[in-house]
Structure 1
């Protein structure tokens, strides 16, 4: 059992670096920005965070941050609930545990993501799936875009899981037009889809329902 950290909130698309959490806009200092961005879509143990910040992919400015400064910012962002800590048996387990009790939102409006970019972002490296199968690709895009549209309307993951298990009343009536999409999922496959979208930073965790974590 380990302690895993991840970022909460969604980055504002334009203007100065700003994280939106529960309708509140929070501006972060430089090292806080690096830390929050590093943890966005990832679940890292404490001793993994600083090496990840200093990795080449984090950029040269990240190397100017000292380990003590990063530790201080981690405590600060955790206290401000812009970072949460989850006790779990692994990063994947931590992600599922947190998402089950979260309210999520698309990180960018669905219509702003081109179809080809959407497919690549959701699966990571191109070529890891049968992208040559255009019909399958189109069907997948339509289904996942529908999920993102649903999350843009209503983001309480626990209610979607209730609906998938047979309780349509758990969802707002305006989402019933997407019922055929939800019927394609069981509980586990829906969570796997959310995990993939979160890992690829296509959705963000807006808030966590404390009593269920």
Structure 2
């Protein structure tokens, strides 16, 4: 049971980590090289895509998706989708994908005259599942070595840790005051039942021994 318990705990922690890693904002320093619109077909990976633009009413198994193509400082490619999140999950309330596409197009640069941009995004890039992180903000920075302190993530994780600690403390107090006494009472009652059953078995054996002549006392 101990292995089952720790397996369940580890699985739960991994699931929480995956949700947070996917949902919380991340920031890349890149050089934008192209913006385009592609017609995409959706299948089992549809959960990793947002709905149509807010207010468009567009839905279905395929639709046009805005993309922002970029290059990292080391030369490796980076591709972002640019979709509204609307009022759904995750709660970025992004409604300006058209404006963001225009900003990204205005920041396109070449290798000889690079313009470095900080792209804030959430989500994962998976070639196997054909998924892309969703860009939520772009802004020009001084260079490829620009760095930022993830204040939002720090504050969010601290607040989340405090909430978890409060809930855990509340659960411990509730268990100590409500559940543990019930368990102790049930254990005492069970012990008393076993004692009574043992007494009855002894009385029964004595009665049987007396009638069968095995009781010489």
Please, what TM-score do these two structures have when normalized by structure 2?
A: 0.22
Q: Which structure has the highest strand share of the two?
A: 2
Ranked by relative contact order (alpha carbons within 8 Å, sequence separation 6 or more), the top structure is 1
Please, what TM-score do these two structures have when normalized by structure 1?
A: 0.22
